[in-house]
Amino acid sequence: MSKLTNGLLALSLLAAGFISAQEVEPTTPEETEFYEPKPPKVTPGTNGSAPSDAIVLFDGSSLDNWISAADSTAAKWILNKDGSMTVNNRTGDIQTKQNFGSIQLHIEWKSPAEVQLEGQHRANSGIFLNGLYEVQVLDNNDNPTYVNGQVGSIYKQHVPLAMASVPTGEWNTYDIIYHAPIFEKGQKVKSGSLTVIHNGVLVQDHVEIKGTTPYIGWPKNPVHGKGPLKLQDHGDNSRVSYRNIWVREL
Ligand code: MG
Q: What distance in angstroms lies between residue 82's CA and the mean position of ligand 1's atoms?
A: 24
Predicted confidence at residue 175, as pLDDT, reads: 98
Q: Is the pLDDT of residue 211 over 70?
A: yes
Q: What distance in angstroms lies between residue 18's CA and the mean position of ligand 1's atoms?
A: 60
Q: What distance in angstroms lies between residue 234's CA and the mean position of ligand 1's atoms?
A: 6
**In the chain, where the domains are located:** 3-32, 55-249
Confidence of residue 1 (pLDDT cuts 50, 70, 90): very low
SS3 assignment for the chain: CCHHHHHHHHHHHHHCCCCCHHHCCCCCHHHHCCCCCCCCCCCCCCCCCCCCCCEEEECCCCCCCEEECCCCCECCCEECCCCCEECCCCCCCEEECCCECCEEEEEEEECCCCCCCCHHHCCCEEEEECCCEEEEECCCCCCCCCHHHCCCCECCCECCCCCCCCCCCCEEEEEEEEECCEEECCEEEECCEEEEEECCEEEEEEEECCCCCCCCCCCCCCCCCCECCEECCCCCCCCCEEEEEEEEEC
Q: Which residues surround ligand 1, an ion (CB under 5 A)?
A: 124, 126, 232
Q: What distance in angstroms lies between residue 132's CA and the mean position of ligand 1's atoms?
A: 12
Q: What distance in angstroms lies between residue 109's CA and the mean position of ligand 1's atoms?
A: 13
- 95-109 tens-digit pLDDT: 999 999 999 999 999
Q: What distance in angstroms lies between residue 83's CA and the mean position of ligand 1's atoms?
A: 23
In this prediction the pTM is 0.90
Which fold would CATH assign to domain 55-249? Jelly Rolls (2.60.120)
